[in-house]
Amino acid sequence: MNSKIRILIAVPDVGEKELEYVTDAVKSTFISSVGPYVQKFEESFSRYCGAKYGIATTSGTTALHLALATLGVKENHEVIIPDLTMIATSNSVRYCGAKPVLVDSEPYTWNMNPEKIREKITKKTRAIMPVHLYGHPCDMDPILELAREHDLFVIEDAAEAHGAEYKGRKAGCLADMGCFSFYSNKIIACGEGGMIVTDNEELAENARKLKDQGFEKNKRFWHREIGFNYRMSNLHAAIGLAQLEKIEHYINVRRTNAALYNSILKDVEGITRPPEAEWAKNVYWMYSVLVEDNFEMTRNELTVFLREKRIDSRTFFYPIHSQPAYSDLYQNESYPVAEDLSKKGINLPSGNTLTKSEVTEVAQAIISAKGEMKK
């Protein structure tokens, strides 16, 4: 087997505009968090999302932790999250000393099941953190209604959902705070970086203070709170701003490629294509499919087959309750939908630089894999 992968899961599209802005930042000597590109990126990204304020951070994980800390989440609190998510979601809760309380997925959109949230609310619950998984937004209205009923905060984990829409509104600006990641495989990428968006001025100011070591605004080197060093550098923000200028192009690339995948795979028995609810705009951060029992090849066998064809892929996340790092918290708990999705799910190449011919090659490889099993 030739181990050199030809079609990667995601490759960032970094070009002349990124180089121009980063060069300008370097020449200005503002290479740390003090520099004009940070503010420009915050303002431009929050405006794109339809939010009033943006707070840039070092990563999507630190954005989540900062949002939770800003909302006062601490020891003895609980935060309700989906079981099927990247581990950063649950880790950010643990950083606060709080407990992540898990909710199973719903089978169509693969996101947190709103109908399962109510039974998990206790006197310790402080917030709900829905995750817009793989680029498809959650059904937010029932989550927000439940939060209002119980006086809970809602933080959107929109790390995978730049530009996704729920009933015509951008994901990330639907709740108290929304958090994004700009890791190199995201729809727009800084290499590393994150962002909080919010309409609440007080929350924005508190988040800005906490991310900067808790410096008091009018009394430098004076600290009333324990803060963090979660400041995005001017260099990363310069890349982010250049990427943001191309975000609609990137979303169009992903949606066009998803449509092509769909058209080729639509009649393949045993492959469940990714969802797009009538109220949603899926941005297909990952083009994700389920390998059903009647495909005649397991998900794991398909990943090996694709690798032999020098095609990259990724399995779905492992459910949080199954993670060894969390074994002490969720003994004897079961989340059957999340478990089933995790077992069957595979992410196919989905990046901004993916070509139509590559999409066709990947999809045809899946068809040929099924053909191999019939021989």
Q: Which CATH class is domain 16-244?
A: alpha beta
The whole-model pTM stands at 0.96
Q: Decide if pLDDT at 1 tops 50.
A: no
For the chain, what percentages of helix, strand and coil (3-state, to nearest 5) are there? Answer: 40, 20, 40
- The 10s digit of each residue's pLDDT in 124-168 is 999 999 999 999 999 999 999 999 999 999 999 999 999 999 999
Beta strands, E only, the chain? 53-57, 78-82, 99-103, 125-128, 153-157, 165-166, 169-170, 177-181, 194-198, 215-216, 219-223, 271-272, 280-281, 287-291, 314-315, 345-348
From 166, 115, 176, select the one nearest 138 (Cα to Cα).
Answer: 166
d(CA 298, CA 345): 10
Half-sphere exposure of 256 (CA within 13 A, CB side): 14
Q: Sketch the domain layout of the chain as residue ranges.
A: 16-244, 247-374
Identity at 261, one-letter amino acid code: Y
Q: Is the pLDDT of residue 238 over 80?
A: yes
**CA 249, 253, 255, 258: dihedral to nearest 10 degrees?**
-170
pLDDT value at residue 217 = 83
Report d(CA 180, CA 51) in Å as an integer.
Answer: 13
Tell me the average pLDDT across 27-38.
94
Distance CA 182, CA 188 (A): 6
Q: Write out pLDDT tens, residues 156-173.
A: 999 999 999 999 999 999
> What does the pLDDT average to over 107-121?
98
Tokens of 298: 């397991």
Q: What is the pLDDT of residue 296?
A: 87
Residue 373 confidence (pLDDT): 62
| Distance in angstroms (rounded) separating the CA atoms of residues 213 and 197 | 20
CATH fold, domain 247-374, is: Aspartate Aminotransferase, domain 1 (3.90.1150)
- Residue-wise pLDDT for 255-301, tens only, equals 999 999 999 999 999 999 999 999 999 999 999 999 999 998 999 99
The C-alpha angle 315, 318, 319, rounded to 5 degrees, equals 145
What number is the average pLDDT over the span 196-222? 94
Average pLDDT, the chain: 96
Helix, strand, or coil (residue 30): coil
